[in-house]
Structure 1
């Protein structure tokens, strides 16, 4: 009897939900006549006027950029691997010297890295084949995430398609998952972090650049039990300013906050092994430890909860990542849609990145030569009275203070001196603070540094640009009136005197095991 009931149930037709929805909609909106439902005809809101002028909007918006001199011109620059730092423009015989690249260690041309990528291309092809969950998880991924975690002395790491995506994905996920989260963000944070904060929909407070008193005044507004996230960078790319990571960690401990540190412009350039400013601030400790973790877990690297970085600057390829605790990385891997639904980086890109991290780790001279070039240029500009924003990092922001003049300065350098330095304008920097952003590398010779100084002197003379003394007479401009003080450098003379022989032997070709959390743990 029971069996026949089941058979009868399975043979009935499914309930017609569509008819019910139609009837309910009609009943709710139409009058009833003689128990019959009268359905009004669909009302057309179409009119005979013209459609919206989309093209007119686009043209007007672009014209506004042209009028305020913030319109962006892209130069055709083709960097030559065998002639670094040379590049050619559209025609191959039209060569210039590049002075504004983020290829900070000049490793995009290194034969060992290129060879590793070519081998991977031949063996695995040009693409990953899918997302990590479906077909894009492979040995190259495991190797790279293990190298990143080892570099930053964290339990685990997760690779994204870019650090922009990583920053946006992580910060937004925190806002979606942590009820009542409050985010505290430095005013000079990168657009990717700003985007993540917007997408998080969390309450936020913006504090002045490196103003820890203001940061603390905001933190004091909330109970310690309220979830909090402090977002900041180690080096702010357009000013070169360096954050006080240790004191921010102190505030995080005091008020119960997590720390999110973007080391994009510092990895490869700071610390004995290129892990960034967080490593550099405990330089002697990490120099002695090599790749080993601090047994006391008391270093600044240990205190920072999350470190994001890029593979597209010092690490010579493309992509981004986060390094953090085991549980945090597993949480991101499990819940971030930006990670879950994005195709994995190609194997040859990840092989190149892993090789770059390994190579730069035990080549301290890359960092010390780069610092020599930075000091040479900063001192030379100071001697010429050319204004720069003072900082302790490798970034050299040459102040112009006018969008049109900044573009002209860039054009003269390119067309007269065969030197490429891009003008930086709004919205990358505030209006009235336009500049040339100069980034020396270990690939530049001292002669090229001197040639650049002479070319810059000519530009300032030709355009009659204000110099250090001129800004001082006007009451100062972003600190440029103070000139250059080499004692401010993050790299000390003693650190710059070190050689590869001073490194711990465990950084030379270490065997690094895969991290199980990269694949998921049953």
Structure 2
């Protein structure tokens, strides 16, 4: 019988570990840090969801069905019955996990089949699976780029890209966000590098804006560079058939290496991948540390993601529905007087500025039955706190209207709207 979280929290702590003398000092330091976060109004509390991920969810301590506008469940496939059934069947057929890494005894037929589907979906040579896209970003740069090479990275790239580049021994250059003029100056000045790699998010997740991919690819052609794109917030729903930023900006096939996730639009569980030329994938299987030293992706996750690719390659209705929802929400919120960021992407940052206001605003929205979360420093720059709304294909117009009205009501209460 399952034990509730509330019951677990009531269990007594045995406190058997004897703290070192150094811990007394460290404890004071850490407590001061925690207190400063609380005093700044940026403390991040985790709300406990008691239902499957969907348009409507429930949270612990609240019997209401609450509209969820804060998930990466862009296509609504996290609890799709065919995806769930595929995972259930794989659990029965292949077990809970492999208890191993891929090259020892952790590769099953379903892992190879999913990699082939990913490569076919992106029209590339091959793909390699990881436990998460964070791992894919941690594994690709170190394996491919050496001290005689150079990488050029957008300053607002995702934290996983930043961490992955730290592991890489190549020369590192960071250009201003989407500033192709500055990037070209850096490329012109680099005359000695063996290989050059331009690195960008396809969609920048905090702002919902899209990389200038056509211009990046043009510069890559001009200066004999490669292009890498993280497509976590684009794969499955950006572009007419969900092929991502490439398709959205009419430059299919011009990107050399794509990293993306299975944990957002593609089923919402976990897992990531790199897809690209055969030589790149082959080298990653030999050298990529997160691949070589992490357990294999569980069969149920693999099967669920595989079913998602089947659904995507069968039609684009979900992509079209999401695009319609995004356009409607953005237009209505702008008309209401809110300041939004982004480029017609289902990530819609509602800008508030003050961190405490963003937290209080999100709490008021929850009281009105709308699940959103306030984002503040260090997740976003100081002074740019916001509510990051995320649309899904499973939202209908009535759902969106409820969300908009709640924003208007709280906005007036908080003085954001007149």
* TM-score by shorter chain over 0.5: yes
Per-residue deviation at 1:327? 0.7
Residue 125 of structure 1 corresponds to: 95
Aligned residues of 1:152 and 1:301 also touching (Cα < 8 A)? no
In structure 2, relative to structure 1, the CA distance for the partners of 1:189 and 1:137 (3 Å cut) is: same
Aligned residues of 2:326 and 2:344 also touching (Cα < 8 A)? no
Residue 44 of structure 2 corresponds to: 72
Please say if 1:431 is aligned against 2:382. yes
Structure 2: distance between partners of 1:374 and 1:78: 27
In structure 2, relative to structure 1, the CA distance for the partners of 1:340 and 1:99 (3 Å cut) is: same
Within a 5 Å distance, the mapping from 1:366-381 to structure 2 comes to 366-381=318-333
Structure 2: distance between partners of 1:387 and 1:281: 25
Structure 2: distance between partners of 1:391 and 1:158: 30
In structure 2, relative to structure 1, the CA distance for the partners of 1:326 and 1:464 (3 Å cut) is: same
Deviations 1:347-377 (A, max 9, x none): 1110110110110222311011111111111
Residue 160 of structure 2 corresponds to: 192
The partner residue of 1:419 within 370, 392, 396 is 370
Structure 2: distance between partners of 1:51 and 1:108: 45
Aligned residues of 1:131 and 1:342 also touching (Cα < 8 A)? yes
Structure 2: distance between partners of 1:264 and 1:183: 20
Per-residue deviation at 1:390? 4.3
Per-residue deviation at 1:92? 6.4
Per-residue deviation at 1:445? 1.2
Aligned residues of 1:126 and 1:347 also touching (Cα < 8 A)? yes
Please say if 1:114 is aligned against 2:84. yes
Structure 2: distance between partners of 1:453 and 1:50: 54
Within a 5 Å distance, the mapping from 1:469-484 to structure 2 comes to none
**3-state DSSP class of the match of 1:444?**
coil
In structure 2, relative to structure 1, the CA distance for the partners of 1:73 and 1:127 (3 Å cut) is: same
Aligned residues of 1:274 and 1:361 also touching (Cα < 8 A)? no
Please say if 1:160 is aligned against 2:130. yes
Residue 247 of structure 2 corresponds to: 279
Please say if 1:171 is aligned against 2:141. yes
Residue 493 of structure 1 corresponds to: none
Within a 5 Å distance, the mapping from 1:25-64 to structure 2 comes to 51=22, 53-64=25-36
Per-residue deviation at 1:191? 0.2
Residue 358 of structure 1 corresponds to: 310
Residue 338 of structure 2 corresponds to: 386
Aligned residues of 1:400 and 1:466 also touching (Cα < 8 A)? no
Structure 2: distance between partners of 1:132 and 1:346: 11
Structure 2: distance between partners of 1:198 and 1:452: 40
Aligned residues of 2:270 and 2:301 also touching (Cα < 8 A)? yes
TM-score (norm 1): 0.73
Deviations 1:156-186 (A, max 9, x none): 00000000110111123234xx222222110
Per-residue deviation at 1:210? 0.9
Q: Which shows bigger deviation, 395-404 or 246-255?
A: 246-255
Structure 2: distance between partners of 1:112 and 1:259: 35
The partner residue of 1:348 within 300, 308, 317 is 300
**3-state DSSP class of the match of 1:164?**
helix
Structure 2: distance between partners of 1:200 and 1:68: 35
Structure 2: distance between partners of 1:78 and 1:147: 33
The partner residue of 2:175 within 184, 202, 207 is 207
Residue 87 of structure 1 corresponds to: 57
Per-residue deviation at 1:225? 4.6
Question: Which runs of 5 or more structure 1 residues have no equivalent in the other structure?
Answer: 1-48, 283-299, 468-522
The partner residue of 1:328 within 276, 280, 289 is 280
Structure 2: distance between partners of 1:99 and 1:394: 10
Question: Which runs of 5 or more structure 2 residues have no equivalent in the other structure?
Answer: 1-19
The partner residue of 2:215 within 238, 247, 272 is 247
Per-residue deviation at 1:277? 1.3
Structure 1: distance between partners of 2:362 and 2:42: 14
Residue 407 of structure 2 corresponds to: 456
Residue 11 of structure 2 corresponds to: none
Deviations 1:436-473 (A, max 9, x none): 11111111110111111110001111110267xxxxxx
Aligned residues of 2:148 and 2:193 also touching (Cα < 8 A)? no
Structure of larger gyration radius? 1
TM-score (norm 2): 0.91
Aligned residues of 1:183 and 1:204 also touching (Cα < 8 A)? yes
Per-residue deviation at 1:128? 2.1
The partner residue of 2:416 within 453, 457, 465 is 465
The partner residue of 1:105 within 54, 59, 75 is 75
Per-residue deviation at 1:93? 1.9
Aligned residues of 2:42 and 2:359 also touching (Cα < 8 A)? no
Residue 398 of structure 2 corresponds to: 447
Structure 1: distance between partners of 2:399 and 2:405: 10
Residue 3 of structure 2 corresponds to: none
Structure 2: distance between partners of 1:261 and 1:229: 10
Residue 15 of structure 2 corresponds to: none
Residue 44 of structure 1 corresponds to: none
Residue 19 of structure 1 corresponds to: none
Structure 1: distance between partners of 2:21 and 2:120: 61
**3-state DSSP class of the match of 1:451?**
helix
